[in-house]
Amino acid sequence: MYTSVKASLDAIKRAEKLITDDILSVEHPLRAAQIVESLSPLVEKVMAEGSLYDPGLGALAIIQAQGDPIEAAFLLRAYRSTLPRLGYSIPSRSEDVHVLRRISPAFQDVPGGQVLGRTRDYTLRLLDLSLANGASFPAAAGRDSRSSSENHAPPGDAAQATKAPPEFPVVLDYLRKDGYVEEAPAGSGEDEPFDVTTEPLRFPAKRSARLQIMARGEAGALLSLGYAAMRGYGESHAYVSEVRVGSVDVKIRHPITGNPAAIGRIPVTEAHAVFPGKASLNDRRADLTFGYGLTLGGDERKAISMAIVDENLSQRHHAGGLTQDDEFVLQNIDCVESSGFVEHLKMPHYVAFQADMQRTNRITELMKRVGRNGNHR
């Protein structure tokens, strides 16, 4: 027995070594700093889905996972299990976001202005062959600051930009003030969030739990559900009242003074979406329902998908679409859970297969004895 245990242990050690050799033996090994610098969407995705904000560790995980984002997120998740939960931050408001980009597709113009900022939305998707030789974009020499608060400031008005940060009122608030939008769903004001990393989920899930699970959900899974909801598997066409990209200070209560204290800043993307058509003369509901999306990093696609699905889940009592079922949505979008379970099928299953095959055997024999039309042969 010992020898076969040893042989199998050797096999898994060698399998592991084939991977570490691959990582270590490349001619141009990547350094974490390069990845943080060049592949920020990937690092942000891995940190968001890994539920841990640390670009250095995120980049390290990407190197160790050889660029596989789900594997990298998993590495971060496992690492965070070793860390105690020390507390919860003070809630931030949309207005607290240091805006780099902010648009409101629902209106031609909004207070604070449309700030296009940095976006790929209107780039031409032409594969730039000059990048292959390490050539850089012409603009690289005089690289624009990524801060679009400068873009936002009118040209030549530098003094204005340094005086005070521009203000971006929340577009949704105007709609809500006028009675067009439903009130925020119950639970939005919870002081301490339901912590999905330390408590098991119960259904119907609290909104804070739902938002957490989606915020760390797999971007592709959310995209797929948000898309399905728009195509008729929910019942929603969203109008995006606002997309906000920037960073936000993380504040906690100072343990001694009790005053708010900023402990760091994280990049975030927020999406507000409204959905017309819900009012009726019978129950005086506001006509617009509302969905909220927020993710770590700059993934606008994920934030908007999340806003669509959030609205769908809020409407669970009113319809029966798949994307309105919180058990379905919230239990199937976590990349660590879904990838692990799908991949576990590669593990030995021969005991259960043996047990099931005995039943298969019996029914197959039985079918052989009974003709196709049900007559005994």
| CB neighbours of residue 155 within 10 Å | 7
Are the CB atoms for 269 and 300 separated by under 8 Å?
A: yes
Binding mask 56-75 for other proteins (x = CB under 8 A): ------------------x-
Which of 213, 216, 194 is closest to 297 using CA atoms? 216
Nearer to other proteins, 53 or 290 (CB): 53
192: Cβ–Cβ under 8 A, 6 or more apart, which residues?
88
9: contact with other proteins by CB under 8 A: yes
Of 243 and 330, nearer to other proteins (C-beta) is 330
Interface residue with other proteins, options 131, 135, 322, 357 (CB under 8 A): 357
Q: If we measure between CA atoms, which residue out of 295, 302, 297, 275 comes closest to residue 286?
A: 275
- For residues 81 and 108, which CB has a smaller minimum distance to other proteins in the complex? 81
Of 119 and 338, the one with the shorter C-beta distance to other proteins is 338
Options 108-116, 193-201, 226-234, 286-294: segment touching other proteins (CB under 8 A): 193-201
Size of the site for other proteins (CB under 8 A): 53
DSSP label at 93?
A: -
Least distance CB 366 / other proteins (angstroms): 6
Least separation in angstroms between CB 17 and other proteins: 14
Q: Which residue(s) pair with 294 in the sheet? A: 270
**Nearer to other proteins among residue 131 and residue 357 (C-beta):** 357
Edge-first strand order for the sheet with 289-296 is 98-103, 239-253, 260-275, 289-296
Which residue, 157 or 190, is less far from other proteins as judged by CB? 190
Q: Are strands 98-103 and 289-296 parallel, antiparallel or unpaired?
A: unpaired
Q: Which of residues 288-347 bind other proteins (CB under 8 A)?
A: 327, 331, 336-337, 339-344, 347
- Residue from the set 18, 84, 283, 377 that interacts with other proteins by CB under 8 A: 84
Structure tokens at 120: 């790929």
* Cβ-based nearer residue to other proteins, 201 or 279: 201
**144 burial class (0-12, 13-18, 19+ CB within 10 angstroms)?**
exposed
Residue selected from 1, 18, 124, 126 as contacting other proteins according to rule CB under 8 A: 1
Beta carbons of 43 and 56 less than 8 angstroms apart = no
**DSSP string for residues in 259-287:** -EEEEEEEEEEEEEEEE-----TTT---S
Give the residues across from 376 on adjacent strands: 370
What is the closest distance, in whole angstroms, from the C-beta atom of residue 80 to other proteins in the complex? 7
| Residue span binding other proteins (CB under 8 A) among the ranges 39-47, 93-101, 301-309, 352-360 | 352-360
> With binding defined as CB under 8 A, does residue 351 bind other proteins?
yes
Contact window for other proteins (CB under 8 A) among 158-166, 255-263, 281-289, 348-356:
348-356
Shortest spacing between CB 213 and other proteins, in angstroms = 12
Q: Which letter, b or e, does each residue of 310-340 get, where b requires 16 or more Cβ atoms within 10 Å of its Cβ? A: bbbbbbbeeeebebbbbeebbeebbbbebbe
32 in contact with other proteins (CB under 8 A): no
- Between CA 358 and CA 139 the distance in angstroms is 69
Confirm or reject binding of residue 156 to other proteins (CB under 8 A). Answer: no
194 binds other proteins, rule: CB under 8 A: no
In degrees and rounded to multiples of 5, residue 154 shows phi and psi of -60, 145
17-37: burial string, b at 16+ Cβ within 10 Å, e else: eeeeeeeeeeeeebebeebbe
Which of 231, 363, 372, 377 touches other proteins by CB under 8 A?
A: 363
Least Cβ distance, residue 195 to other proteins (angstroms): 8
Residue in 237, 201, 206, 235 with CA at minimum distance from that of residue 332:
201
Please, which residues bridge with residue 275 across strands? 289
Between residues 137 and 203, which has the closer beta carbon with respect to other proteins? 203
* Cα distance between residue 336 and residue 74, in whole Å: 6
Cβ proximity to other proteins: between 132 and 352 the closer is 352
Q: Which residues contact other proteins (rule: CB under 8 A)? A: 1-2, 4-5, 7-9, 11-12, 74, 77-78, 80-85, 195, 197-204, 327, 331, 336-337, 339-344, 347-352, 354-360, 362-363, 366
